[in-house]
């Protein structure tokens, strides 16, 4: 099976997503993680800077690389990346360059998110301004612009398509002292979808990552329809991500 290049007409803008099925099942805001009657945890405080790169695999074949940087920029935090993805489309291969920029407070409250996607002469971009009461998202295909509004929680987690360092930020939201199942609201900007996710600690596991046999801590992210496995080292650094249903694996260099 080849990676599917999902042509999503983003509310009429012609925005093209490279989804790999990561969030195609997350179309309903009432997925199981939202319906569970469990209290929301208090937000933790973000601290520290982090940078690195992820190798991206689909069905065992390497198709891309993400270089990311997360830095504290008072009064908040800024996360940026440059993501290269090469996929088969029609009868040839197409390389996409995705550049996301995410600004949020140290209490994980999003402030602004921008993402551009280039494929040769084609360029699309989106910007999301998170405001009290109502969040505004603008999508530009280069030919037309569309604006949408949505009500989101002030500590909503941004988990965008094909932006894997966002899961690093999600792991920092997980309270390891509390453990158990913890729930968060989340938003996928490129698909303009909102819903809930649950994160649970599955303990230590033997995992192969980067050609090495490692014993890592397993966090399971559940959207109700899709499960995403995250493996972290003792310092709680994300070393591997896997979406078995989508044949996607991401490994830290």
77-126 pLDDT per residue, tens: 999 999 999 988 777 899 999 999 999 999 999 999 999 999 988 899 99
Which pLDDT score, from 0 to 100, does residue 204 have?
97
Measured CA angle at 107 (ends 249, 191), to 5 deg: 45
pLDDT higher than threshold 50 for residue 246: yes
Comparing C-alpha atoms, which of 14, 10, 6 is closest to residue 94?
Answer: 6
Do the beta carbons of residue 185 and residue 194 sit within 8 Å? Answer: yes
Strand 157-158 versus strand 181-188 pairing type: parallel
Do the beta carbons of residue 240 and residue 233 sit within 8 Å? Answer: no
Compute the 3-state secondary structure of the chain and give helix, strand, coil in percent, each to the nearest 5: 10, 55, 40
Question: Which position has the token pair 């694996």?
Answer: 249
Which pLDDT score, from 0 to 100, does residue 13 have?
36
Q: How confident is the model at residue 72 (pLDDT cuts 50, 70, 90)?
A: very high
Q: Which residues contact 189 (CB under 8 A, 6 or more apart)?
A: 113, 115, 126, 128, 137, 158, 160
Do the beta carbons of residue 54 and residue 164 sit within 8 Å? Answer: yes
């Amino acid at each position: 099976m080849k990676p599917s290049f999902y042509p999503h007409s983003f509310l009429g803008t012609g925005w093209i997503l490279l989804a790999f099925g990561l969030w195609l099942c997350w179309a309903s805001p009432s997925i199981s993680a939202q319906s569970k009657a469990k209290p929301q945890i208090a937000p933790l405080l973000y601290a520290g800077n982090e940078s690195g790169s992820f190798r991206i695999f689909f069905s065992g074949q390497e198709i891309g690389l993400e270089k990311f940087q997360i830095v504290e920029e008072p009064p908040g935090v800024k996360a940026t990346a440059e993501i290269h993805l090469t996929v088969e489309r029609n009868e040839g291969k197409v390389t996409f360059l995705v550049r996301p920029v995410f600004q949020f407070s140290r209490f994980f409250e999003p402030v602004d998110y921008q993402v551009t996607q280039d494929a040769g002469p084609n360029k699309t971009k989106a910007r999301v301004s998170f405001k009290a009461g109502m969040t505004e998202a603008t999508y530009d295909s280069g030919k037309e612009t569309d604006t949408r509004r949505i009500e989101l929680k002030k500590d909503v987690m941004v988990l965008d398509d094909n932006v894997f360092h966002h899961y690093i930020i999600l792991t920092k939201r997980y309270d390891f002292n509390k453990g158990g199942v913890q729930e968060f609201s989340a938003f996928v900007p490129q698909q303009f979808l909102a819903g809930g996710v649950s994160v649970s600690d599955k303990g230590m596991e033997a995992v192969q990552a980067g050609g090495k046999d490692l014993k890592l801590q397993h966090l399971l992210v559940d959207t109700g329809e899709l499960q995403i496995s995250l493996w972290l080292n003792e310092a709680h650094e994300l070393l591997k991500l896997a979406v078995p249903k989508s044949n996607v694996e991401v490994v830290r260099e």
